[in-house]
Amino acid sequence: MTQINENYLKLKAGYLFPEIGRRVKAYSDANQNAKIIRLGIGDVTLPLAPTIVNAMVDAAKEMGSAGGFHGYGPEQGYSFLIQKIIAHDYTARGVQIAEDEVFVSDGSKCDCGNIQEIFSLDSKIAVVDPVYPVYVDTNVMAGRTGEVGPDGRYANIIYMPATEENNFEPDFPKEKPDIIYLCYPNNPTGMVATKARLTEWVNFAKKIGSIILYDSAYESFIQDPEIPKSIYEIPGAKEVAMEFRSFSKTAGFTGTRCAYLVIPKDLKGKTKGGEEISFNSLWNRRHTTKFNGVSYVTQKGAEAVFSTQGQLEIKEQISYYMENAKLIREGLVKAGYTVFGGMNAPYIWLKTPRGLKSWDFFDELLGTAQVVGTPGSGFGPAGEGYFRLSAFGKREDVISAIERIQKM
């Protein structure tokens, strides 16, 4: 009989969000008249902006003509989109990025999960705790970790706790990692990294010879002009960091699927024999082997995001979600909760009341207020005793959810 990849057996019982779905379904089946408000999974609720829709409709019509039909496109992405990405997200910030350093994909989740393939299995990873589960789980699947311990931590992973005690700003690891996962604005805590702090991370990575995998999927929600939106705003970052970006939350592409990954050619690793190899070339080989590219129609929609009208429309949507975040944050504070985040990110991170465990609070919130959030422990051991609410709901649902929570 064919053998399985036993690394999958190391994974905890279930991926966080399917487990939430399972519990909500069980409650809904037993309480069919309950009006459940979902502020858990970070899925957007506003429709695609008109300018994006029009661009995709035009592209679809183009595909229906003999002269405008597009078959296989470049796996790395069409130049028309990459040029707009570079001009808007990098050149405008004084950062020089070449076209062949940008790789368009179908989502940052995929990129964050797949990127580990170009690193040695001997590489040791460091993650902020709490953390987006994909960073950890995909390394477990690959065989880069040991078994999970009674404390919920996997052997051979360096955990960097981010808690109220250190203002959710993890200390540099004492043990040397090869790969450091950073996410700012942070999912799940909603916290951001200052330019000074990011500079320290870049210098730290340079000093010890590590690579930073920088997930900035929520950069468009930053309200403070002093907070960097790209790690490449930090001098020297192109020598130590890759950056993951997404249209999912920025422009509502959670169901449309489009993102991109920047890997500077200056970013290099070594073979066992000491030869320096560009990670850009490795990812290009992986990307063109295992990925057929994002559809032409989708990329034309993504291009429209950078138009003058497209920018106005998506900024209006971002403002809508950030107003939701403000309502949730202020409503929870009024109800007596200890609250973090929600000022430069669409996530609110709250301390569970009465010392409740995260999943116990999940069940209480669902059972009493019919509101769904995300248990902090699902993001890692340091998330125990915390809870995440998302600002991506509809305004009327957000208002109703806070009213219900205030009555608990």
214 among the known binding-site residues? Answer: no
Residues 249 and 259 sit within 8 Å (Cβ to Cβ) = no
Q: Using alpha carbons only, how large is the chain's radius of gyration in Å?
A: 21
Distances (CA, A) of 241 to 25, 103, 230, 264, 300: 41, 15, 11, 8, 28
187 among the known binding-site residues? Answer: yes
33 among the known binding-site residues? Answer: no
184 among the known binding-site residues? Answer: no
15 among the known binding-site residues? Answer: yes
Burial of 47-67, coded b for 16+ CB within 10 Å and e otherwise, reads ebbebbebbbeebeeeeeeee
Residues 236 and 206 sit within 8 Å (Cβ to Cβ) = yes
292 among the known binding-site residues? Answer: yes
7 among the known binding-site residues? Answer: no
246 among the known binding-site residues? Answer: yes
List Cβ neighbours of 167 (8 Å cut-off, separation of 6 or more).
191
379 among the known binding-site residues? Answer: no
42 among the known binding-site residues? Answer: yes
Q: Are strands 268-270 and 259-262 parallel, antiparallel or unpaired?
A: unpaired
Q: Phi and psi (nearest 5°) for 222?
A: -65, 125
319 among the known binding-site residues? Answer: no
Dihedral over alpha carbons 177, 181, 185, 189 (to 10 degrees): -80
278 among the known binding-site residues? Answer: no
Residues 215 and 180 sit within 8 Å (Cβ to Cβ) = no
The binding site for substrate comprises: 15, 42, 109, 132, 187, 292, 388
Query: Can you say which residues are annotated as belonging to the binding site?
Result: 15, 42, 72, 108-109, 132, 187, 218, 246-248, 257, 292, 388
Binding residue numbers for pyridoxal 5'-phosphate: 72, 108-109, 132, 187, 218, 246-248, 257, 292
